[in-house]
Every structure is written in C-alpha cells, then in structure tokens.
A and B are shown apart, each in its own frame.
Chain A
Amino acid sequence: MKKVDEKTYYLDQQDIYEFLKNRPPILMIDEVYVQPGVTAYTSKTWDEGVWFFACHFPGNPMMPGVLQLESLFNIAAMPIKLLEGNRHKTTNVAQISSAKFKRHILPGEKLDISAEIIKFRRGLATVKGKIMVADEVCCEAEFVLVVLDDVLKVENGGDCHADDE
C-alpha cells in the first residue's frame, strides 16, 4: 500500500487481499485508490474472454448488473477497512436502497468505478456508488454496508448479529 498524497492510498491486488476476503472471480477490482472513511476509486476493463460474458449472454455479451453491484460493494468496503482497527473486520451488504442500470457494459470498455461514504457510524456505512464509461453513467446505487464486528447483541433480545454472506 502506497501513500499517494496527504489523504489518498493506492492498493494493488496483493494489498487488497490484505483487506478483503473476496477472491476471484468474485473480486471485481485489481487496484484501488482510497481516502479512508471517505471515498474509493478504481478503473477496470473486462476482456471478452472473461467468464461472465460467455454466459451473459451468448452472442450478446454484457456485464451482469449483479456483478456491477459487486464491484461497487468491493470498493465501498475499502474506505471502511482502511479506518484504524477495521482491517480484519468483516463487512457485508445490509441493504440496497436504490440501484439503477442505465447503460449496458460491453467487453473491452474501461469502467470508472467510484464509491463515496455518505455516513458512517455505529458500524453502518451508507454509500453512494457509481460506474461510468467515459462520461456515461452505467450504474448508480445507494446501499448500506455493515461492519459485523460492530453490531452488538441486545440484552434479552436474542441473536443480534447479522448473518455472514
């Protein structure tokens, strides 16, 4: 992990492995620029030979929406994970408030993927994420990531922990 400027860190895939439990093929990022607690950004180009284009759809390849969201979840976890004490904690998606898919993502297109932490408290991060190709928005979503280790048991209330993914 390298410090790029006063607020920003650059992580390559080996660095990412230190923070995320995701592994290929359900790790959708190779590198990421992160401002802890604030934002994350990456770019990614999927070649036509990648596994999901072969089945989604034969003869008409486009990136599945669920994997677009997974890309956003991957980078959104990074600003939370880079906060002190969070590296080894588990983050899961707790809620998707909105998701819009405005444009197909085709093989060979360069994606600009970004996430902004709107609010983070009590282990809940409200995030806005966006995927763009050039100046066109492909996907926008707002969702909540939960830091499982920060979700507490409630007295006499039974199991208060969110389920692992």
Chain B
Amino acid sequence: MTNQEKYNKVFMEALEVDESQLMELEYQSVDAWDSVGHMNLIGELEDTFEIEMETDDVIAFSSYKKGIEILAKYNIIV
C-alpha cells in the first residue's frame, strides 16, 4: 500500500468519509472531524506512519491538504 493509500484510508475510516470528499476536507467540515475526532485522526496517522507529531503540527493539521505538508516534515511523502 502506498503512502497515499494509507493516508486516504486513515481519513476515510477515522472520519467516515468517502474518497471523493478528501480533497476538500477541513477541520469541522464534517461532523466526525470535531475536537475528539481530530485527536483520533492524529493518533491513527501516528500509528500508521510510526511517527509522533509535535504539538504545533497537531494544532496546524487543519485539513487533508495541510496534513500532507505536515507529514513531509517527518519524511512521510504522500
């Protein structure tokens, strides 16, 4: 499975969305991406890519697209 596939899978499972919604997905744009959903999403990404994000990155992780930029800081290229 590619990093892109892994990244998408985490979003689709954690936020209960389908692939067509991913590109426009932002914090609070769907019910499941609330404060608790956010921490769950971050935890799932950390497990999947075996990283631990800095607090500033957890806070800045405000959209599907922004998350791709943030993961690149941890040498995860999506």
Q: Which residues of A contact B (CB under 8 A)?
A: 94-95, 121-124, 144, 146, 150-162
Q: A121-B43, A122-B42, A122-B43 are in contact. Are A154 and B36 (CB under 8 A)?
A: no
Contact (Cβ within 8 A) A154 B61: yes
Q: A121-B43, A122-B42, A157-B27 are in contact. Are A152 and B36 (CB under 8 A)?
A: no
Inter-chain CA distance A23–B59, complex, in Å, is 34
A94 contacts which chain B residues (CB < 8 A)?
A: 36
Q: Which residues of B contact A (CB under 8 A)?
A: 26-28, 34-36, 38-40, 42-43, 46-47, 55, 58-62
Leading 4 A-B pairs by shortest Cβ distance = A157-B27, A122-B39, A160-B35, A122-B43
Residue in B39, B46, B55 whose CB lies within 8 Å of A124: B39
Q: A156-B62, A157-B27, A158-B28 are in contact. Are A151 and B35 (CB under 8 A)?
A: yes
Residue in B28, B47, B55 whose CB lies within 8 Å of A152: B55
Inter-chain CA distance A122–B59, complex, in Å, is 12
Inter-chain CA distance A155–B26, complex, in Å, is 11
Contact (Cβ within 8 A) A154 B43: no
